[in-house]
Amino acid sequence: MPATVPSERHCGTPFPPSARFRLRAASGPRRPPLYCRAVIRVGGEVDAFCNRCGLVLAHTIHAVVGGRPVKVECNTCHSVHRNRGAAGATGGARPARASREKAAAVPFDALLAARNPSAARRYSPQETFAVDEVVDHPTFGRGFVSAVRDAGKVEITFRSDVKVLVHGRA
């Protein structure tokens, strides 16, 4: 059984952090752990993320493509699977990240379009505005009334900001 500890010669292939390699990175600046070409061969051993175990664990390499272990067997649960760890390290899409971006707030344009932009009124302190009315402001641009406050104040949501402005000043 060849040693699986990385040697000083590295091939530059990034690899997810693991307890074994973290020892090397503990001192000095943080950098992606590397693993050595010498251990990447069928029958060799590599640390990879096991979906079933939910951990980065030692895996036996079943297939190597382009110097990367693409198919591995978990030494703990013995499930054979694609090497997800290596796929992620080479820029593979991560669904979790994509769905998080989708959770962003509703865009301003959509909020505006849901009102009645064709009935937009020019803002003036003398005018009186109601919730959901679309307002054109000389400085802030087009917005919509998101709330009517007490004491002659109206909250208008513009693209860049939410402003509380006076209205109904007779």
Does 52 engage in binding with Zn ion (CB under 5 A)? yes
Nearer to Zn ion among residue 76 and residue 90 (C-beta): 76
Q: How many CB atoms lie within 10 A of CB 14?
A: 15
Does 80 engage in binding with Zn ion (CB under 5 A)? no
Of residues 12, 22, 76, 107, which one binds Zn ion by CB under 5 A? 76
Question: Smallest distance, Å, CB 20 to Zn ion?
Answer: 16
Judged by CB under 5 A, the stretch of 13-21, 69-77, 125-133, 138-146 that binds Zn ion is 69-77
State the residue number with the nearest CB to Zn ion: 74
Structure tokens at 135: 């307002």
Question: Smallest distance, Å, CB 114 to Zn ion?
Answer: 49
Does 134 engage in binding with Zn ion (CB under 5 A)? no
148 CB-side CA count, 13 A:
10
Does 74 engage in binding with Zn ion (CB under 5 A)? yes
Does 36 engage in binding with Zn ion (CB under 5 A)? no
Q: Measured between alpha carbons, how far is 142 from 117 in angstroms, rounded to an integer?
A: 9
Question: Smallest distance, Å, CB 48 to Zn ion?
Answer: 9
- Going by C-alpha positions, the residue among 156, 114, 119 that lies closest to residue 139 is 156
Judged by CB under 5 A, the stretch of 8-16, 34-42, 70-78, 158-166 that binds Zn ion is 70-78
Nearer to Zn ion among residue 57 and residue 135 (C-beta): 57
Does 50 engage in binding with Zn ion (CB under 5 A)? yes
Does 65 engage in binding with Zn ion (CB under 5 A)? no
Binding site for Zn ion (CB under 5 A): 50, 52-53, 74, 76-77
